[in-house]
């Protein structure tokens, strides 16, 4: 049994009334209440944006051997092509290819990735295929422009033969 009178460890314990209030704020969930109490106290867990210790230690260790890789790539990308080709003993074309690769590697750290464009104009064709529980399949061509969607039903063949791809069992 822990003797709290021998130390001041009891001062670090949360107040019961405070914990009950935090639990009530979290819908009576005491597990969430403990996490929230520790968060408010500034204890436990990594702060948002903080690096993993191992990552930080590795970066510090590698820094003693040379420049940061991003800085090195940026330096290669910013060199004049003629000078870079002469320093590397390669063609101007190969030097330009190296610069493009370096720029592509550095770009995500400088610019955010663009969102994918989803066409919303309705132009083009799309077919919606739905299968009901009774095996009936409905095809709905959705055309662009002023075309009205049409519903067409296709016949299905129940209990079709399964094709076995195992050469030992094939005919």
Residue 150 near residue 141 (C-beta atoms within 8 A)? yes
Task: Look at the chain and report how many structural domains it folds into.
Answer: 3
Domain that residue 20 falls in: 14-46
Alpha carbon distance 151, 18 (integer Å) = 62
Do residues 106 and 71 share a domain?
Answer: yes
On whether residue 161 sits in a domain, the answer given is no
On whether residue 21 sits in a domain, the answer given is yes
Q: Tens of pLDDT along 136-156?
A: 666 666 655 555 545 555 555
pLDDT in tens, the chain (171 residues): 555 555 555 556 677 888 888 889 888 888 888 888 887 777 666 667 777 778 888 888 888 888 888 888 999 999 999 999 999 999 999 999 999 999 998 888 888 877 777 666 655 566 666 666 666 666 666 655 555 545 555 555 666 665 555 656 555
On whether residue 60 sits in a domain, the answer given is no
Do residues 70 and 96 share a domain?
Answer: yes
On whether residue 90 sits in a domain, the answer given is yes
Do residues 137 and 104 share a domain?
Answer: no
Do residues 98 and 70 share a domain?
Answer: yes
Residue 131 near residue 137 (C-beta atoms within 8 A)? yes
On whether residue 148 sits in a domain, the answer given is yes
Q: Which of 2, 35, 29 is nearest to 14 (CA)?
A: 35
Q: In whole angstroms, how far apart are CA 141 and each of 100, 130, 135, 150?
A: 44, 11, 19, 6
Alpha carbon distance 96, 83 (integer Å) = 11
Spell 28-37 as b/e; 16+ CB within 10 A means b: eeeeebbebb
Residue 87's CB is within 10 A of a number of other CB atoms, namely 11
Do residues 72 and 99 share a domain?
Answer: yes
Residue 80's CB is within 10 A of a number of other CB atoms, namely 10
pTM of the model: 0.39
Q: In this structure, what are the phi and psi dihedrals at residue 119, rounded to the nearest 5 degrees?
A: -65, 130
Q: In whole angstroms, how far apart are CA 47 and each of 31, 34, 36, 37, 44?
A: 20, 17, 14, 15, 9
On whether residue 55 sits in a domain, the answer given is no
Alpha carbon distance 73, 154 (integer Å) = 58
The residue from 81, 110, 139 where one domain ends is 110
For residue 137, what are the β-bridge partners? Answer: 131, 154
């Amino acid at each position: 049994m822990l003797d709290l009178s021998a130390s001041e460890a009891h001062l670090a314990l949360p107040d019961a009334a405070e914990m009950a209030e935090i639990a009530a704020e979290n819908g009576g969930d005491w597990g969430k209440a403990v996490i929230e109490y520790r968060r408010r106290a500034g204890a436990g867990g990594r702060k948002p944006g903080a690096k993993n210790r191992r990552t930080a230690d590795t970066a510090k260790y590698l820094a003693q051997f040379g420049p940061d890789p991003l800085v090195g790539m940026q330096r290669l990308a910013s060199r004049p092509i003629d000078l870079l080709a002469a320093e590397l003993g390669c063609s101007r074309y190969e030097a330009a290819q190296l610069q493009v690769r370096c720029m592509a590697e550095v770009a995500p750290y400088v610019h955010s990735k663009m969102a994918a464009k989803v066409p919303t104009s309705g132009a083009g064709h799309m077919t919606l295929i739905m299968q009901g529980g009774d095996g009936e399949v409905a095809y709905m061509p959705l055309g662009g422009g002023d075309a009205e969607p049409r519903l067409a039903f296709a016949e299905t063949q129940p209990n079709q033969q399964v094709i076995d791809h195992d050469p030992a069992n094939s005919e």
